[in-house]
Structure 1
Amino acid sequence: MSGLKARINAGETVLGTFVKTPAPHVIELLGIAGLDFAVADQEHAPLDLGAMDQLALAARAVGLPLVARCWGQSPARISPLLDLGCTGVMVPHVADSETAENVVAAVKFGPGKRGLSPSPRAGNYGTMGAAAYTAKSDAESVVMVQIEDAEALDRLDMIASVPGVDVLFVGPADLSQSLGCGFPSAQLDAAIVRVIQAARHANVAAGLFVGDESQIAAWRERGVSVFVCGSDQGLVIKGARRIAEAGRA
C-alpha cells in the first residue's frame, strides 16, 4: 500500500524521526536509510519557510513523505507548508475538538478555509487542474494532532472524532509537564494508554514520540502505529559517540 496516509489509515506501523537541521541533505539521507517519513520541526528548530521549501524539495526528490510540525494552528501557518509539497502537518497542543476542526480546515480544501492556487510545488507548478489538485490534496494530506495537555485527556473522544484527523500523536515531554509527573513514569504511561484507547475507538491511529528505537516494540504491542524516534541531531550524536567510545576503549 503506497502513500503515508493510506498506510496510516490501514494500521501499518510507520517510522519517522524529527528533523531540526535546515539542510536538505539530511532529508536525502533519511530517505536513503529507509524511513517511512520525517517530521520537520518548526516548533523547536530554526526552520523558516525558506528552509522548509528546501526540505520539501529534497523530500520529493528522494520520495520521503515530509510532515511539518508547524508553529501554530492557523491557516496562515499551515497552508503554505502544504503548498510547498509537505505531506501533512503535526500540530502541537490540540486540546479540544474546536482546535482540531480548525486544523483540518486549514489543511483541507473541502471545508473552504485553505486558499487555493495550483501554482506551487504541490500542484506541480500549475500543471494540474484545480479540481484534480484539490481532490488529490484532500485525499492524501495527513493530519496529526498532538495530545500534550492534561485537559485534552478528558476530551479525547471529541478530538478523535473530528473528521479529517488521522493521528492522535502524544508529545510525552509536554504531557508529563502538564500532568506534573515524571518522564518516564507510570502516570504518563497510563495517559498514553488512554490516548491509544480513544484512537482505537474512533478508528484513527495513535502516534508517539520515543527517544530510542528500543521503546518501539513495547508500545506497538499496546496499539501505537505511528512512531517518531529521536531526531537527526540525536542520530548524529549517537553515531559520533559510538566512534569516540570505540576508539578510546
Structure 2
Amino acid sequence: MTGDLRSRIRAGELLIGSFIKTPVPHMVEILGHVGLDFAVIDQEHAPIELSQMDMMAMAGRSVGLPLLSRRWGAQTDWIAPLLDLGLAGVMVPHVLDRAGAEQVCDAVRFSRGKRGLSPSPRAGNYGGMSIPAYRDHCDAGSVVMVQIEDESALDHLDDIAAIADIDLMFIGPADLSQSMGVGFPSAELDQAIERIIAAGKKAGVAIGLFVGDAAQIPAWHAKGITLFVCGSDQALLRKSATQLMATARG
C-alpha cells in the first residue's frame, strides 16, 4: 500500500472496502486490522451521530484505515464537520447532474472558497498546522465520491465526470435499478453500469460499485471498475455467524 486513498484511487489501484453501520469505534478498529483499503461509515442507512463519528474517526486513524461518510439529505452542510474530524472524504448519494456535483466539490475543496476554514479540529492537528499548510493538505487528500443511482443522472454522466475535483463516480445498483424500474440484478442494470464505466473511462475518472459478494469483483474489475464496497460490518457478521451455525449443526 503506497500513498493516500485519493492518490490510490486516481492511480487506478484495485481498492476494497466495506460499509460500517454499527456506531462504535471497535468495528472501525477491527476492519482496519484485517487490512481493508478504506471503509464508508453509512450515516444514510444507520443511526450514527456526529459524536459517534468523532470516536470512529479517531479509531480509523489509530489503525490507518481511511474513512469516508455518506448520509442522507440534499444539502451539503454535513460535509465539512466530518472532514474536520479527519475523515478521508465523502460519498454523496443521489447526485443527479453537474450542479449537484459542483455543490459537493464546493463543500470539500477549500480552493473553491466556500468551505469554512479553521485548522483547529483533528484534521488540522488541533491547530498544529498553519492555515496554508492545512488548506493544501486537505485539498490534496480529501476524496470526493458522487453516487450515480438515479436514471436521470445517466443523461448527465459526461458533465459530472468533467469536473476536475470529482475523484470517483460510485454506482449504487439497488437504487439505480429501482429508479430504472428494472430487476436487481438484470441485463438492463448491467447495461447502465457499463454506460457509467464508459463515461468514466472517457473522462479519466475512477468508477466504484457496491457488491454484496466478493465473488462479483473480478468480473466488474475486468470491465474497468477499480473500487468496490463489499457488504457491511453487519453483513459480514451475519454471514460469519450463519456459517458458524450451519457448520456446528452439520
Bigger drift between 192-201 and 69-78 goes to 69-78
Contact 1:73 1:102 (C-alpha < 8 Å) held by counterparts: no
Give aligned pairs, total. Answer: 249
Distance 1:159 1:51 in 2: 32
Q: Are 1:46 and 2:47 matched, yes or no?
A: yes
SS of the aligned residue for 1:122 comes to: helix
Query: What is the correspondence of 1:91-102 to structure 2 with a 5 Å cutoff?
Result: 91-102=92-103
CA-to-partner distance for each residue in 1:195-226, whole Å, 9 max, x for gaps?
Answer: 11101111110000000000000000010001
C-alpha distance in 1 between matches for 2:76 and 2:189: 32
Which residue in the other structure is 2:203 paired with?
202
Measured in 2, the distance between the counterparts of 1:56 and 1:161 equals: 31
Q: Alignment partner of 2:113: what SS?
A: coil
Q: Which residue of 2 aligns with 1:61?
A: 62
2:45–2:71 CA contact under 8 A, matched in 1: no
SS in structure 1 of the partner of residue 12 of structure 2 = coil
Equivalence for 2:23: 22
Distance, in Å, in 2 between the alignment partners of 1:52 and 1:29 is 16
Compute the RMSD of aligned alpha carbons.
0.7
> Which structure 2 residues correspond to residues 46-195 of structure 1 after superposition, within 5 A?
46-195=47-196
Q: Note if contact 1:84-1:121 (Cα within 8 Å) is conserved in structure 2.
A: yes
1:73 Cα offset (Å): 4.8
Deviation at 1:135? 0.1
CA–CA separation in structure 2 for the residues paired with 1:63 and 1:160: 29
* Mapped partners of 2:72, 2:34: distance in 1: 28
SS where residue 183 of structure 1 aligns?
A: coil
Indicate how the Cα distance of structure 1 residues 143 and 73 shifts in structure 2: closer, same or farther if over 3 A, else same.
farther
Which AA in structure 2 matches 1:151? Answer: S
- TM-score calculated relative to the size of structure 1: 0.99
> Aligned partner of 2:35: which letter?
G
**Would you say the 8 A contact 1:40–1:66 is kept in 2?**
yes
Q: Hey, what's the Cα distance between the residues in 2 that align with 1:47 and 1:101?
A: 26
The Cα of 1:191 is off from its aligned counterpart by 0.3
Partner Cα separation in structure 2 for residue 112 and residue 73 of structure 1: 21
Would you say the 8 A contact 2:102–2:163 is kept in 1? Answer: yes
Deviation string 1:31-80 (CA, Å, 9 cap, x unpaired) is 10000000000100011111111110100111000011133353421110
